[in-house]
Amino acid sequence: MGEYIIAIDIGGSKVLCGILDRSGKILMRSRELTCVTGDPQAVIDQTERMVGEMKLAMGLWEQDILGIGVGVPGPLDYQAGIVEESPNLKWLKYPVREELSKRLGAKLLLDKDTNVAALGEYYYGCNCQCRHLIYITVSTGIGGGIIADRHLLHGQNGGGGEIGHMVVAPEGSQCGCGRRGCLEAMASGLAVAREANALIARGAGQRILASVCPGQPVSAREVAQAARQGDEEALGLIDRIGRYLGMGIANLVNIFNPERVVLGGGMALGLQDLLLPVIQNEVMNNVFSLHRRSLEIGMTRLGEDIVLAGCAAMVLHSPVAEN
């Protein structure tokens, strides 16, 4: 039986591949910008090549591979292995599991990236035996993976965990999903950029504008930079974002009563010094005392590798992942 796990994290901006051992340690890592041409096959070609190169570099044969884990953007029809719609990848009802299995072999387990990340955090992130965990990724969009009573929550079609599309501001901004005021529309990286641009457009936000490299769009990074220099407008913007996140997380804590809520994703990781205290404060003030008891809210320590770690967990603990 093989000793190595191939892990693949396909996202709208990057493809991250890794080879891991049975302890979840990453032995090799390969990262490329996603080849988004409109033809899904280009991403499959790219992934197959990246995996082939890694296997070659490590001298691995088919029999050395224990299994392959893959994370892809949701919403994903989990049973069918079909990505319903990914605007970033330009995929629509794309049977990604079938297509990847043809290239990489049948020992392939695939799930939504945020679900895979939740498994990564559950098995490798926290060093604790918690039973109830909510993982939230905050980057361009907002997504989640939920472990309730040691089971990854898939729901009937694999659509469980779409926490970015909980409405937190009914009169708020239009979301890509069609609703108004979803958490994703109010508190994602896109929301920060939109709010910062709105400030600048009305002649404010000069400190934020000063942080932007010429020719580049404004993003959460520049807002954070201005905030760390004490800019009131930037601090105000991040405070609003943090309070929306806190409101959404408080809703989830009241619904799930978890032991841990863990944040990851580019924006959450990059702005954690500014965001986390606001979020923690907002949540702790807005849940029942029963739910606050031994609740921890923190950042993942797995960083960008959380989905790779989750791929290994998915392969090694497939009965949990399959539930």
Q: Which is nearer to a second copy, 62 or 149 (CB)?
A: 149
Q: Based on CB atoms, which residue is closest to a second copy, 56 or 290?
A: 290
Instruction: Find the shortest distance in angstroms from Cβ 152 to a second copy.
Output: 9
Among residues 137 and 211, whose Cβ is nearest to a second copy?
137
Q: How far apart are CA 156 and CA 162, in angstroms?
A: 13
Longest dimension (CA), the chain: 64
Q: In angstroms, rounded to a whole number, what is the distance separating the alpha carbons of residues 130 and 124?
A: 12
198-206 long-range contacts (CB < 8 A, ≥24 apart) are 199/233, 199/237, 204/233, 205/233, 205/234
Measured between alpha carbons, how far is 195 from 315 in angstroms, rounded to an integer? 41
Least distance CB 216 / a second copy (angstroms): 33
Residues that bind a second copy in the complex, under the rule CB under 8 A: 75, 77, 84, 130-132, 144, 146, 148-149, 151, 153-163, 165-170, 177-179, 247, 250-252, 254-259, 286, 288-291, 293-294, 323
With respect to a second copy, which residue has the nearer C-beta, 71 or 144? 144
As measured in angstroms, the least distance from the Cβ of 186 to a second copy is: 10
Q: Report in angstroms how near the CB of residue 12 gets to a second copy at its nearest.
A: 17
Closer CB to a second copy, residue 216 or residue 294? 294
Q: How far is the CB of 246 from a second copy (least distance, A)?
A: 11
Angle at 138 between CA 134 and CA 139, to 5 degrees: 150
Q: Report whether 68 contacts 104 (CB < 8 A).
A: yes
Residue closer to a second copy, measured from CB, 167 or 200: 167
Minimum CB separation of residue 240 from a second copy in Å reads 11
CA distance 49 to 45: 6
Q: CA–CA separation, 213 vs 92, rounded Å?
A: 35
- Which residue, 60 or 185, has its beta carbon nearer to a second copy? 185
Say how far apart CA 62 and CA 64 lie, in whole Å: 5
Here the tokens at position 245 are 């996140």
**How near is the Cβ of 71 to a second copy at its closest, in Å?**
17
- Are 183 and 142 spatial neighbours (Cβ–Cβ below 8 Å)? yes
Minimum CB separation of residue 77 from a second copy in Å reads: 6
Judged by DSSP in three states, 144 sits in strand
Choice between 205 and 242, CB closer to a second copy: 242
In the chain, % helix, strand, coil (3-state, to 5) comes to 45, 25, 30
